[in-house]
Amino acid sequence: MRFVKVKSILVATLALAASGGVARADGGSPKLLNVSYDPTRELYTDVNAAFAKQWQQKTGQTVTINQSHGGSGKQARSVIDGLEADVVTLALAYDIDAIAEKSGRIGKDWQKRLPDNASPYTSTIVFVVRKGNPKGIRDWDDLIKPGVGVVVPNPKTSGGARWAYLAAWGQALQKNGGDAAKAKDYVTKLYKNVPVLDSGARGSTTTFAQRGVGQVLVSWENEAYLLVNELGKDKFEIVNPSTSILAEPPVAVVDKNVDKHGTRAVSEAYLKFLYSPEGQEIAAKHHYRPRDEKAAAKFGVLPKIKLFTIDQVFGGWQKAQADHFADGGIFDQIYQPGS
Amino acid sequence: MSAFASHKVYLVGRVASLTALLLCPAAALAQDAPAPAAPAEATPPADAAATPPAAAPATAPTNEELARRVEELDQLVRVSNRKAELAAEAAAANPPARVVTSERGFTIGDGPRDFELKLQGLVQVDGRRIFGSDDPVLRDKTDTFLVRRARLYFDATVLGLVDARIMPDFGNNTTALLDAYADLHPTAWLRLRAGKFKPPVGLERLQTDAYVPLPERALDSNLSAQRDVGAELWGDIANAAVHYELVWLNGNTDGALTDVDDEHAKTYGGRLFLRPFQLGELKAYGDLGVGFAFETGNEKGSNTIANGAASNTWLPSFKSLSQNTIFTYASSGTDATATVFASHRHTRLNPQLYYYIGPFGVLAEWIKEHQSIQKGAALDAVDNQAGHVTLSVAIGGDNSYDGVRPKAAASWKAGTFGAVELVARYGWLSIDDHAFQTYADKSKSVDKAKELAFGVNWWLNRNAKLYAAYGHTTFEDGAGKAAAPTARPTENVGIARVQVAF
């Protein structure tokens, strides 16, 4: 055997292989998976198109962004279980923290990597009623009246539902001088009026608007506007409660997945795009409350509602989760399936 | 009756009940309605006023009340329907159990994958032929059809935390337990394996049998154990850019899969394997792996004679591509002092390299072995070494350490052929001159071997593969036949194989 020949073949193969590798890197068409919560389908359809255009102009690459939507908690569980998300854009920080802690796929400092605690836009919780508001629903107290069917998703699986639950609890707490027992009594009565718990916000919208269940939908503000605009102002009305909660949906790059896919740069750029004037305008167009006031003004400023934060009333997400939504927590005490 | 069908029956019943409820007030109204006016001659008697009055009729519900009841019933039906819809969606999204067939076998598991049982299999059927040999013994031993491997094995996952594998092999006219281990994996970077498994030395040895590009492994596989029994701490860090293994094993003879140790001392070892292109954007440059493995420990054989042969030397024999013995240590069935046996220290060192990109692949490694031996009362040690380089190119598929993945499975209808893998391998085995001269059974042993092998593999899909390989092995010194213990003649062997792996 001539070893020189073997060596020549090896060198030639490596040279060919290396040239192939460079060609693939230059001509790449990155693909991203954005795992998001339920009512952001329309928002990210527009964001994806705008970002892809900008990325192509900047790099020459054609980026494809796929979306996955569902209840925020359920989506987080999917990523923990191995769904190969490049970015997560979920309803609440607790769900991204859960991915970071349980899977290690996201660095624990994720909230410090982007402005405003990695939350490029905010929203709140409002009510949608049927046209003419036949039950005369004006504020939170009207939701616990007998015979009022309230539609809201399951806080165990839906981020929007957790915001809604905390909005209800927080306003009751404030109204009753911080009396937690009275707040619990209020929320207990509220969930007695809930006939169906969907797993996500979009499901609840379907339940209320298309299946005709209940008299009031407790909803994300952006989802409420989408519902009224899409399904008819002649069928539904938005009711803004006197008080609600400031919801801050966060975003993060899934570190281990982007490193595995080789998509870190494009994923980080994608999330930064949400903070750009164009990204903020898209958020405002879809009735989110952007951080940029100019963008907010461009599409009409949303009604002023007295908003409290989760830190002010509940001491942050970790405490709120442990007290209210953990197994055996207050929600489990007040709500029994089928009751 | 399916759950969904029974729910429909329930719904129909429910709607019927609600309709009946809705109709109740109307029936009551009918019963309570005043009788039609009687004709004049039927006027009640004058004492009628003295008759006790009939029970007062119930108050008729107002239109508002009826509307409210209708709305309530409507809501009940709507809620019931929606709950049924959600239940059906949930059942579809989280099936209680699933049976999956894929290229990697058959899996039975629950929805969240906490519990799984996977059935996999491997069948390799060979046809082998020696070319150009005038040695009838060699021909008769090699020219054969052979079930090289026949495996049906199980992988189980329990609570999403512990895996277990049991893999027997019924091929080669023997029955052997190859893998039997439990793997506790709290995280990807920290796993604990206990049982019988592949030890860290031998990059090609660690490659799954179905993916090794030639029908038999290279000559250097003679210097690593097939399996060993013990515990291993291992894991993947940074998206498998860093892979590590730390083992505590019985310690096994080269090529062996013995289950039980022969002395109290154990073997320690480890492997560090780096795949830098797994990081960040570098993946486009392929999969480069560079690593180093080692094992060292004490192994103690003996020169005991049982049934007319040395029974437990704890020393190996080495084989060529055709699986014929090309080296064995001296032993005697009558004189124990003429038998060579292992005497404590046994160390293996093994640098490893592979690189795969697109259709191209190269895998190379070298193993150096230090083996302490004893013959009679004399203690000594030998140093053997071996290595190989394999080049492979996949036409119509992507190449990797885990075999070729055809871009399209072979299909007569679709006009696709799968993928063809072209392979070339150069390997060598160098026995310590000192060992060959003093401790080998020269009637069966060579001092050096060099192998050049070529193969063409047709991957019909990921599961079915046809091999055609040719190997040319030359030897220095030693015997090819007992009658002429001189230079062993060159070995030319052709091997064809049909393989199905799932």
- Mean pLDDT, all residues of chain A: 88
Q: What is the predicted ipTM? A: 0.74
Whole-angstrom CA distances from B278 to A114, A256, B206, B258 are: 26, 10, 20, 36
**Phi, psi at A55, each rounded to 5°:** -65, -40
Mean pLDDT of B17-21: 47
Do B113 and A13 make contact, defined as CB atoms within 8 angstroms? no
Amino acid at B144: T
Chain B contact probe: residue of A259, A261, A266, A267 with most B CBs at under 10 A: A259
Burial class of residue A177 (count of CB atoms within 10 Å of its CB; 0-12, 13-18, 19+):
exposed
* Residue of chain B whose alpha carbon sits nearest to that of A212: B78
Do A149 and B75 make contact, defined as CB atoms within 8 angstroms? yes
- pLDDT band of residue B177 (cuts 50, 70, 90) is very high
Instruction: Find, among B96, B384, B79, B354, the residue nearest to B203 by Cα.
Output: B354
Mean pLDDT of A7-35: 51
Q: Are B102 and B462 in contact (CB under 8 A)?
A: no
Structure tokens that stand for B8 in this block: 């429909």
Instruction: Find, among A291, A326, A289, the residue nearest to A118 by Cα.
Output: A291
Least confident of A1-15, A37-51, B120-134, B214-228: A1-15
Whole-angstrom CA distances from A156 to A76, A110, A159, B160, B397 are: 12, 23, 8, 22, 45
Q: Are B133 and B492 in contact (CB under 8 A)?
A: yes
* Residue of chain B whose alpha carbon sits nearest to that of A3: B426
Residue B388 has pLDDT above 90, yes or no: yes
Residue B95 has pLDDT above 80, yes or no: no
Q: What is the DSSP letter of B216?
A: S
- pLDDT band of residue A337 (cuts 50, 70, 90) is low
Mind spelling out the 3-state secondary structure of A141-187? HHHHCCCCCEECCCCCCCHHHHHHHHHHHHHHHHHCCCCHHHHHHHH
Name every chain B residue with its beta carbon within 8 A of the beta carbon of A147. Answer: 72
B283 has a chain A CB within 8 A of its CB: yes
Distance from the A275 Cα atom to the nearest Cα atom in chain B, whole angstroms: 24
- pLDDT band of residue B120 (cuts 50, 70, 90) is very high
Mean pLDDT of A34-47: 93
B286 has a chain A CB within 8 A of its CB: yes
Q: How far apart are CA B425 and CA B431, in angstroms?
A: 20
Strand partners, A150: A216
Q: How far apart are CA B119 and CA B369, in angstroms?
A: 37
Name every chain A residue with its beta carbon within 8 A of the beta carbon of B79. Answer: 149, 195-196, 213
Name every chain B residue with its beta carbon within 8 A of the beta carbon of A212. Answer: 74, 78
The pLDDT of residue B54 = 52
Structure tokens that stand for A50 in this block: 């705008």
How large is the angle between the packed helices A41-59 and A264-273, nearest 10 degrees? 120
Q: Which of B239, B360, B426 sits opposite A260 (nearest CB)?
A: B239
Provide the greatest CA pair distance for chain B. 146
Provide the greatest CA pair distance for chain A. 94
The pLDDT of residue A69 = 92
Structure tokens that stand for B272 in this block: 């560090």
Q: Are A43 and A286 in contact (CB under 8 A)?
A: yes
Name every chain B residue with its beta carbon within 8 A of the beta carbon of A265. Answer: 281
Q: Are B224 and B349 in contact (CB under 8 A)?
A: no
List, as one string, the DSSP characters of B175-210. -EEEEEEEEEEEETTEEEEEEEE--SS-HHHHS-GG
Q: How far apart are CA A17 and CA B355, in angstroms?
A: 9
**Phi, psi at B102, each rounded to 5°:** -150, 180
Q: What is the DSSP letter of B318?
A: E
Q: Which of A212, A259, A262 sits opposite B284 (nearest CB)?
A: A262
The pLDDT of residue B155 = 92
Helix, coil or strand: residue A192: helix
Give the residue with greater pLDDT, B148 vs B26.
Answer: B148
Structure tokens that stand for B112 in this block: 């969240």
Distance from the A256 Cα atom to the nearest Cα atom in chain B, whole angstroms: 6
Least confident of A210-219, B261-270, B457-466, B482-491: B482-491
Amino acid at B94: N
B424 has a chain A CB within 8 A of its CB: yes
Q: How far apart are CA A100 and CA B483, in angstroms?
A: 71
Name every chain A residue with its beta carbon within 8 A of the beta carbon of B187. Answer: 104
* Residue of chain B whose alpha carbon sits nearest to that of A22: B285
The pLDDT of residue B408 = 93
- Mean pLDDT, all residues of chain B: 85
The pLDDT of residue B307 = 82
Half-sphere exposure of B31 (CA within 13 A, CB side): 11
Residue B317 has pLDDT above 70, yes or no: yes
Q: How far apart are CA B162 and CA B230, in angstroms?
A: 17
List, as one string, the DSSP characters of A240-252. --SEEE-B---EE
Least confident of A124-128, A166-170, B29-33: B29-33
Name every chain B residue with its beta carbon within 8 A of the beta carbon of A199. Answer: 86, 90
Strand partners, A118: none
Distance from the B149 Cα atom to the nearest Cα atom in chain A, whole angstroms: 31
Residue B14 has pLDDT above 50, yes or no: no
Other Cβ atoms within 10 Å of A22 Cβ, number: 11
Residue A270 has pLDDT above 70, yes or no: yes
* Residue of chain B whose alpha carbon sits nearest to that of A215: B75
B268 has a chain A CB within 8 A of its CB: no
* Residue of chain A whose alpha carbon sits nearest to that of B241: A260
Whole-angstrom CA distances from A7 to A3, A113, B203, B394, B475 are: 6, 48, 20, 20, 21
Do A16 and B360 make contact, defined as CB atoms within 8 angstroms? yes
| Digit-coded pLDDT (tens) for A192-229 | 999 999 988 889 999 999 999 999 999 999 999 999 99
Counting one residue from chain A and one from chain B, the pairs whose CB atoms sit within 8 A come to 89
- CB contact set of A248 (below 8 Å; sequence gap of 6+): A92, A93, A116, A117, A119, A122
Burial class of residue B273 (count of CB atoms within 10 Å of its CB; 0-12, 13-18, 19+):
buried
Whole-angstrom CA distances from A121 to A118, B51, B116, B296 are: 9, 80, 42, 60
- pLDDT band of residue B158 (cuts 50, 70, 90) is confident
Q: Are A107 and A96 in contact (CB under 8 A)?
A: no
**B355-377 burial string, b = 16+ CB within 10 Å, else e?**
bbbbbbbbbbbbbbbbbbbbbee
* Residue of chain A whose alpha carbon sits nearest to that of B425: A6
Q: What is the CA radius of gyration of chain B?
A: 38
Q: How far apart are CA B207 and CA A310, in angstroms?
A: 53
Half-sphere exposure of B211 (CA within 13 A, CB side): 19
Instruction: Find, among A164, A92, A150, A145, the residue nearest to A122 by Cα.
Output: A92
Chain A contact probe: residue of B86, B115, B159 with most A CBs at under 10 A: B86
Do A21 and B286 make contact, defined as CB atoms within 8 angstroms? yes
Distance from the A284 Cα atom to the nearest Cα atom in chain B, whole angstroms: 32
Amino acid at B89: E
Q: Are A274 and A250 in contact (CB under 8 A)?
A: no
- CB contact set of A67 (below 8 Å; sequence gap of 6+): A33, A34, A36, A41, A44, A45, A48
The pLDDT of residue B264 = 86
Q: What is the DSSP letter of A268?
A: H
| Digit-coded pLDDT (tens) for B40-89 | 343 444 444 445 555 555 678 888 889 888 988 998 999 999 889 888 88
Residue B365 has pLDDT above 80, yes or no: yes
pTM score, whole prediction? 0.57
Distance from the A3 Cα atom to the nearest Cα atom in chain B, whole angstroms: 8
Give the residue with greater pLDDT, B467 vs B479.
Answer: B467
Q: How far apart are CA A299 and CA B160, in angstroms?
A: 49
- CB contact set of B30 (below 8 Å; sequence gap of 6+): none
Q: Are B204 and B221 in contact (CB under 8 A)?
A: yes
Helix (H) or strand (E) holding A10: helix A3-26
Instruction: Find, among B323, B334, B330, B271, the residue nearest to B301 by Cα.
Output: B330
Chain B contact probe: residue of A9, A79, A196 with most B CBs at under 10 A: A196
The pLDDT of residue A336 = 73
Name every chain B residue with its beta carbon within 8 A of the beta carbon of A262. Answer: 280-284
- CB contact set of B6 (below 8 Å; sequence gap of 6+): none
Helix, coil or strand: residue B445: coil
* Residue of chain B whose alpha carbon sits nearest to that of A4: B426
Distance from the B10 Cα atom to the nearest Cα atom in chain A, whole angstroms: 16
B366 has a chain A CB within 8 A of its CB: no
Residue A77 has pLDDT above 50, yes or no: yes
Q: Which residue has the tokens 């024999």?
A: B317
Distance from the B309 Cα atom to the nearest Cα atom in chain A, whole angstroms: 38
Do A25 and B284 make contact, defined as CB atoms within 8 angstroms? yes
Do A13 and B282 make contact, defined as CB atoms within 8 angstroms? no
Strands B419-430 and A306-308: unpaired
Please provide the distance, in angstroms rounded to a whole number, between the alpha carbons at the two ends of chain A: 82
Residues shown for chain B: 502
Q: How far apart are CA B311 and CA B250, in angstroms?
A: 19
B395 has a chain A CB within 8 A of its CB: no
Chain B contact probe: residue of A2, A255, A260 with most B CBs at under 10 A: A260
The pLDDT of residue A106 = 94
The pLDDT of residue A193 = 94
Distance from the B427 Cα atom to the nearest Cα atom in chain A, whole angstroms: 10
The pLDDT of residue A67 = 94
| Digit-coded pLDDT (tens) for B399-410 | 999 999 999 999
Q: How far apart are CA B465 and CA B463, in angstroms?
A: 7
